[in-house]
Amino acid sequence: MSAKIIDGKQIASDIRNELKAEVEKLKTKNIVPGLGVILVGTDAASISYVTAKEKACADIGIYSDDNRLNENTSEKDLLALIDKMNKDPKINGILVQLPLPKHIDEEKVLLAIDPVKDVDGFHPVSIGKMVTGQKAFISCTPHGVLQLLIRSGVKLEGAEVVIVGRSNIVGKPLANLLMQKSDMGNATVTVCHTRTKDIASHTKRADIVIAAAGRPNTITADMIKAGAAVIDVGINRVEDATKKRGYRLIGDVDFENVSKKAGFITPVPGGVGPMTITMLLYNTVESAKIANGLV
């Protein structure tokens, strides 16, 4: 058997087209969703993320207020900019690109963002609401994973889901969302991590395996059940002299062999990756609707 490839680029493009139509409709009511983006420093990966976010906003008609700050920007100045954005009615969502330089307290910065503009879903208020099943901004990568599964027709209700990885931004929120009594949940969830005794004993009985460990070959073919859906959240750089940039990107899953046994699988790149920014756009449009009393 050969797995159906879940095409993240296509699904992301479908959602972006839906959002574009929605933004056009909002514009007829004189509502323009706005995203404030803050990047501190010159980290190459962060610059490329932020550039992609700005372009994605422009593509679907979201106003974006782009702020690229010097590496030496003080915490006080950063907090002042966030405060200004909190008060700016043109801004519906605020995104501070992580990681921040070492002299800035990340926790303090995330807490400074008004939860009504927390389109990253990183604020403890957003997380608390999400865990207790209240309406909240869902952080973008977990939300993207759920959309990939739902839009590929993978049934979540009653499914045995095993998540490998317990990070605050992927494993933990995904586990909470999947166990919720909701259309995006109703699954039975197990979370494996570095101290799990026998990861394979869990993944082998899973209908859905989500790999978010940040380590290549975390999931191999002998670890999954035939026909399982396998979602790969990992992005790992491996040296590759045949590439101009000297490396290529691989996930946490042994794609070549797992794809021969799984029922569904996401590639890396082109799986979860394109969904993260898409769900950020989704949250920004939602926030604009909430701010204008439309939901």
Q: Under a CB-based contact definition with an 8 Å cutoff, are residues 35 and 57 in contact?
A: yes
Helix, strand and coil content of the chain, in percent to the nearest 5, comes to 40, 15, 40
Task: Identify whether 14 is a catalytic site residue.
Answer: no
Nearer to ligand GUN, 96 or 138 (CB): 96
Nearer to ligand GUN, 97 or 266 (CB): 97
Nearer to ligand GUN, 224 or 231 (CB): 231
Amino acid at 236: N
Q: Please, which residues have CB within 8 angstroms of residue 194's CB and are 6 or more apart in sequence?
A: none
Q: What is the DSSP string of 199-222?
A: HHHHHTT-SEEEE-SSSTTSB-GG
Nearer to ligand GUN, 186 or 270 (CB): 270
Closest by CA position to 129, among listed 79, 182, 80: 182
Nearer to ligand GUN, 65 or 120 (CB): 120
Strand bridging mode 208-211 / 247-250: unpaired
Q: Under a CB-based contact definition with an 8 Å cutoff, are residues 116 and 291 in contact?
A: yes
Amino acid at 228: A
CB of 73 to ligand GUN, least distance (A): 16
Q: Which residues bind ligand GUN (CB under 6 A)?
A: 49, 95-98, 120, 140, 276
Task: Identify whether 27 is a catalytic site residue.
Answer: no
The most distant pair of C-alpha atoms in the chain lies apart, rounded to whole Å, by: 57
Task: Identify whether 97 is a catalytic site residue.
Answer: yes
Token duo for residue 44: 């190459």
Catalytic residue among 7, 65, 97, 207: 97
Nearer to ligand GUN, 109 or 154 (CB): 109
CB of 204 to ligand GUN, least distance (A): 31
Secondary structure element (H or E) that encloses residue 102, with its range? none
Strand bridging mode 236-239 / 247-250: antiparallel
State which residue has the least CB distance to ligand GUN.
98
- Rounded to whole angstroms, the Cα distance separating 198 from 221 reads 15
Residues in the chain: 295
CB of 280 to ligand GUN, least distance (A): 7
CB of 50 to ligand GUN, least distance (A): 9
- Rounded to whole angstroms, the Cα distance separating 289 from 293 reads 6
CB of 140 to ligand GUN, least distance (A): 5
Token duo for residue 183: 């259309």
Catalytic residue among 7, 53, 65, 232: 53
CB of 259 to ligand GUN, least distance (A): 26
Residue 68, number of CB atoms within 10 A of its CB: 16
Catalytic residue numbers read 53, 97, 120
